[in-house]
Amino acid sequence: MAAGLHVHNNTVRYRLACLGKDFCIDLVDPQTRLWLWLRITTMDLAPKATAGLVIH
């Protein structure tokens, strides 16, 4: 992952730790990581909202 972002491995670890702390998410817990991955993945599947369009 770090190579794809063009940063050092420790930078990725540090930034993930900061995000976990800022959002109060325990990234050490495998269930939490799975939940987070599922939430992010399913966001891509949700229909995109269009400004001014109301869907009933």
56, two tokens: 């009933």
pTM here is: 0.61
pLDDT at 26: 94
Cα angle 54-55-56, degrees, rounded to a multiple of 5: 115
Q: Is the dihedral of CA 54, 44, 6, 9 positive or negative?
A: positive
Question: Each residue of 36-45: pLDDT tens digit?
Answer: 999 988 887 7
What is the predicted pLDDT for the residue at 15?
93
Residue 56 has pLDDT above 90, yes or no: no
**DSSP for residue 49:** P
User: Residue 12's CB: how many other CB atoms inside 10 A?
Assistant: 15
Q: What is the pLDDT averaged over residues 16-28?
A: 94
pLDDT of residue 50: 58
